[in-house]
């Protein structure tokens, strides 16, 4: 057990710069980030970082396969982390702890090694409506492979699994039940004990996705009595690229290997059948991520004492942060929480009336506030809630009240920004051609900007110059696939073979990016359009490094559709 003290906890994370609040330089610009994207990944303490470096500098060797001293030291540290995981989640045996790349791979192992070999046409798989894509898509794949059917557990208005529907959804036809311990969007602790018990009553296998739970709850898999429990190190202050598949020993022993290769074999012959290694090595083909496994042990050493503290200082501080942030957001008139009531952990999902989620997140980024926007790898949940996406603030125990104050202040500044005033779509018959800026104009404009905050403002201002399309023009034929924000594109070609593009988007920042893209492509022949190197153009503007992968991919999706429409 270890008493939680914010200052001592926070100072262990170098990226946070050992500050309790955002700092500002003499020009009033932020010089430290406010990191509120912890549900995606947490920051790493110095001991985790040092542990990986220490392995590479002082005892780098492969594990299990050699008799020399370096290998022995590496193997001891590697297996010590497995023992730490066993104790951390209360597993009965060390053989029940399988190293994987993360929760996603852990789920795929269960799906392809067990479900694919046991499901039959007409069998049923039960998932929850709020699942992460990682706990949906693998099951969809195996359902297609086997002829099994997927059924969905609905949610209450508060965002929990509706336990009153368990008897109707989980039946004698159910063979697998998979659900998240805590939703990565709603922050609800699901009643997994009741789900597991119901699955067991009909003979179904239960898999619990604990990715969002392990940094906040003390986990006891034997008490839960689930068949499988999966999680990733990087969401609990550990390194990326390493995760855990816990499985009851009898299931793991009955399952065939997921992959073949070194370490997972006992004997190999061209003349006789290959035999496989014992648990846990049967599922660990190839050289593992040794440095990450060893560093994972350090993150457990950091976190486990706080979760075991009978005074619950760590937990109580997380709840204080959650309550403070939720109440502060609730005071902003434009804030709409996507489900009723305060979450159970510091994961708060909301929208701002009149503003696209991506516009809010990119604007907050200019203030140095990192939050998440989009569908959060939970598109079925978004559809269930009848929204296209939302904003998500996810807190960790190293965050501070001062950071929350700064975040709220940044939202209020965003709402007052004059360049973000709402504009209405053009009425039928009004001009719908795009602004006449060419590449030289855009390059000259951005040459005067310094930093992402000024570039972001210019993009938003350019977006105001893009005439809005009529609703009739925003349809399935003009929609741009691959752009996370809704965007539409149409084209005309004149007698001289010159192409003219018109477009619209529900996000202001995408409208600004459309103006920039059109400067490169409008009023050109098909050949000149296909000759444009958009990557060089955006690199010269200094934009690509500031765009998230989803935003960058959205720009490329726009470019791809332009080139598709402009056929030579």
Query: Distance of CA 439 to CAs 181, 289, 447, 518, 536, Å?
Result: 50, 46, 12, 9, 12
Residue that is written with structure tokens 């009955």 in the block: 254
> To which H or E segment does residue 76 belong?
helix 69-89
Q: What six digits make up the tokens of 356?
A: 């696209």
What distance in Å separates the CA atoms of residue 78 and residue 63, rounded to the nearest whole number?
8
How far from the centroid of its chain's Cα atoms is residue 268's Cα?
Answer: 40
Nearest to 320 by CA among 217, 216, 397: 397
3-state helix, strand, coil in the chain (%, to 5): 45, 15, 40
Catalytic residue, chosen from 57, 179, 377, 390, is: 377
What distance in Å separates the CA atoms of residue 475 and residue 485, rounded to the nearest whole number?
14
Within 10 angstroms of residue 244's Cβ, the number of other Cβ atoms is 27
Q: Is the alpha carbon torsion for 530, 533, 535, 541 positive or negative?
A: negative
**Are the C-beta atoms of 229 and 221 separated by less than 8 Å?**
yes
Assign 326 to helix, strand or coil.
helix
Rounded to 5°, angle at Cα 70 from 65 and 76: 70
Which of the 8 DSSP states describes residue 472?
A: G
Q: Is the alpha carbon torsion for 400, 405, 408, 409 positive or negative?
A: negative
Query: Distance of CA 451 to CAs 30, 90, 185, Å?
Result: 12, 49, 31
Within 10 angstroms of residue 280's Cβ, the number of other Cβ atoms is 21
What distance in Å separates the CA atoms of residue 167 and residue 51, rounded to the nearest whole number?
48
What distance in Å separates the CA atoms of residue 111 and residue 117, rounded to the nearest whole number?
9
β-pair partners for 222? none
Dihedral over alpha carbons 506, 508, 510, 512 (to 10 degrees): 140
What distance in Å separates the CA atoms of residue 149 and residue 421, rounded to the nearest whole number?
48
Rounded to 5°, angle at Cα 282 from 237 and 98: 20
Told to judge if 325 belongs to the known catalytic residues of this protein, a careful annotator would answer no
What distance in Å separates the CA atoms of residue 245 and residue 416, rounded to the nearest whole number?
48
What distance in Å separates the CA atoms of residue 457 and residue 287, rounded to the nearest whole number?
47
Active-site residues: which are they?
A: 377
């Amino acid at each position: 057990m270890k008493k939680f003290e914010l200052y001592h906890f926070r100072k262990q994370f170098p990226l946070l710069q050992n500050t309790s609040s955002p700092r500002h330089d003499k020009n009033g610009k932020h010089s430290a980030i406010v990191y509120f994207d912890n549900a995606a990944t947490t920051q790493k303490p110095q001991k985790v970082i040092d542990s990986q470096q220490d392995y590479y500098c002082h005892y780098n060797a492969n594990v299990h396969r050699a008799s020399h001293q370096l290998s022995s030291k590496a193997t001891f540290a590697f297996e010590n982390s497995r023992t730490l995981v066993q104790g951390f989640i209360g597993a009965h045996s060390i053989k029940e702890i399988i190293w994987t790349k993360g929760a996603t791979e852990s789920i795929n192992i269960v799906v392809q090694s067990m479900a694919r070999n046991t499901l039959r046409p007409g069998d049923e798989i039960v998932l929850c409506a709020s699942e992460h894509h990682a706990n949906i898509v693998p099951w969809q794949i195996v359902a297609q492979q086997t002829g099994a059917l997927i059924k969905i557990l609905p949610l209450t208005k508060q965002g929990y699994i509706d336990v009153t529907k368990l008897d109707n959804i989980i039946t004698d036809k159910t063979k697998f039940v998979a659900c998240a311990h805590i939703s990565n969007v709603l922050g609800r602790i699901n009643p997994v004990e009741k789900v597991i018990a119901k699955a067991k009553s009909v003979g179904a296998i239960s898999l619990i996705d604990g990715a969002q739970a392990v940094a906040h709850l003390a986990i006891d898999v034997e008490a839960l009595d689930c068949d499988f429990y999966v999680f990733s190190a990087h969401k609990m202050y550990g390194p990326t690229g390493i995760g855990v598949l816990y499985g009851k020993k009898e299931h793991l022993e009955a399952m065939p290997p997921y992959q073949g290769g070194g370490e997972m074999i006992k004997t190999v012959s061209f003349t006789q059948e290959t035999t496989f290694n014992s648990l846990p090595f049967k599922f660990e083909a190839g050289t593992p991520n040794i440095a990450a496994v060893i560093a994972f042990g350090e993150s457990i050493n950091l976190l486990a004492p706080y979760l075991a503290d009978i005074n619950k200082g760590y937990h109580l501080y997380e709840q204080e942060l959650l309550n403070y942030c939720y109440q502060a957001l609730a005071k902003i008139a434009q804030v709409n929480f996507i489900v009723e009531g305060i979450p159970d952990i510091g994961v708060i999902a909301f929208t701002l009336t009149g503003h696209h989620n991506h516009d809010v997140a990119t604007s907050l980024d200019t203030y140095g506030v990192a939050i998440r926007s989009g569908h959060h790898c939970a598109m079925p949940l978004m559809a269930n809630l009848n929204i296209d996406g939302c904003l998500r603030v996810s807190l960790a125990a190293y965050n501070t009240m001062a950071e929350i104050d700064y975040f709220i202040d940044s939202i209020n500044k965003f709402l007052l920004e004059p360049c973000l005033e709402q504009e209405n779509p053009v009425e039928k018959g009004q001009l719908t051609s795009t602004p006449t800026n060419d590449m030289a104009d855009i390059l000259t404009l951005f040459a005067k900007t310094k930093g992402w905050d000024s570039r972001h403002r210019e993009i938003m201002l350019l977006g105001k110059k893009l005439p809005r399309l009529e609703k009739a023009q925003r349809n399935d034929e003009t929609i741009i696939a691959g752009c996370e924000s809704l965007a539409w594109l149409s084209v005309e070609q004149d007698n001289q073979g010159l192409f003219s593009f018109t477009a619209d988007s529900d996000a202001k920042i995408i409208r600004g990016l459309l103006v920039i893209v059109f400067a490169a492509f409008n009023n050109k022949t098909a050949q000149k359009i296909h000759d444009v190197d958009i990557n060089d153009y955006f690199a010269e503007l200094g934009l690509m490094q500031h765009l998230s992968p989803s935003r960058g991919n959205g720009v490329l999706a726009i470019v791809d559709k332009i080139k598709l429409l402009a056929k030579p």
